Amino acid sequence: MAFKMMLESLEGLAPEVAQEYTEKDGKFHIQVEGMKTQADIDRVTTSLTAARTEAAGFKAKLALLGDRKVEDIIPMLDRIPVLEAAAAGKLDEDKLKEMAELRARAIVAPIERERDGFKQQVGVLTGEIETFKTRESTRTIHDQIQQAAKKAGVIDEAMEDAINAGERLFVLEEGTGKAVVKEGVSVTQGLEPKDWLSDLQTKKPHWFGQSGGGGANGNRGGGGGAEVNPFSHDGWNITKQGQMMQTDIARADRLAKAAGHKDAESAMTKPAKK
């Protein structure tokens, strides 16, 4: 069931759902800790629009120069007092050069100040947007780990530990949006949360409500039960290996590597118990 960020009325909602909303300005907003509100997003969007408007004004001012650059205008300005002085019969090279430099600085200085201010605003907005994107990415990874953990039978008391441990390992895969183990960590790259949790049943049995030493089939306090890696010592299953290699060879290779094999094709014998 998808929850709406804002409702006009709580009529018809179940009490346990309605309690997650709080009234503000005559409307009901869902409460999500750490999540940006629509007002926050609107402020960032408004600031970005203002910056773009300023940029357009900056471009319009530069358009007065036509296709010519500022450095092309300066020599032209230099020629004006020279021509005027020549027409009046007075030509002082040093004085004309000084006048030209002062005039050029007077023209360029406001443009440079406006440009620098625009750069600063863009930098601030870019930082805010990146912070927002990072928070959204982290929230999505947390959600996927939590969903997989519930299905795997991780008990409520260990859920926070599972999420915190997974946060350091997972990134969102470009294109699919799935949480996968990133490169350069101690876990096989590309594993999804459900596969990672399967391998942890023997390493962290207390997460699954086991009394200790129960292995993959120990007594769990949770409901579901993680899918056992068919390439591992405890879960060795040639039939499931073949099925997985037929339906998802990439996942089969990742699980085989996690169990200590080179890949799924080379997993001919049961690995040693970890």
The average pLDDT across 199-228 equals: 64
pLDDT digits 0-9 by tens, 13-43: 888 888 888 888 888 877 766 666 666 677 8
List C-alpha distances in Å: 154 to 75, 111, 178, 194, 228.
Answer: 75, 61, 20, 11, 14
Residues 6+ apart with CB under 8 A from 111: 58, 61, 62, 70
Which DSSP symbol is given to 217?
G
Closest CA to 254 of 198, 208, 174, 202: 198
The residue among 79 and 149 whose pLDDT is bigger is 149
The residue among 166 and 253 whose pLDDT is bigger is 166
Q: What are phi and psi of 221, to 5 degrees?
A: -85, -20
Residue 155 pLDDT more than 90?
Answer: yes
Band of pLDDT at residue 136, cut at 50, 70 and 90: very high
pTM confidence score: 0.43
The tokens of 217 are what? 């089939």
- Report the C-alpha gap between 4 and 40 in whole angstroms: 17
SS3 267: coil
| Residue recorded with tokens 């002085």 | 85
Band of pLDDT at residue 172, cut at 50, 70 and 90: very high
Q: Give the helix ranges, DSSP H, for the chain.
A: 15-18, 38-63, 70-88, 93-152, 156-167, 193-203, 238-247, 249-258
| Residue recorded with tokens 């096989």 | 188
The average pLDDT across 94-121 equals: 83
Q: Please, are residues 35 and 27 in contact by the beta-carbon 8 Å criterion? A: no
Q: Please, are residues 267 and 233 in contact by the beta-carbon 8 Å criterion? A: no
The residue among 252 and 96 whose pLDDT is bigger is 252
Q: Please, are residues 179 and 145 in contact by the beta-carbon 8 Å criterion? A: yes
State the average pLDDT for the chain: 79
The residue among 94 and 71 whose pLDDT is bigger is 94
The residue among 259 and 218 whose pLDDT is bigger is 259
Q: What are phi and psi of 90, to 5 degrees?
A: -125, 125
Closest CA to 267 of 236, 243, 246: 236
pLDDT at position 183, please? 87
Burial of 73 (0-12, 13-18, 19+ CB in 10 A): middle
The average pLDDT across 84-90 equals: 63
pLDDT at position 142, please? 94
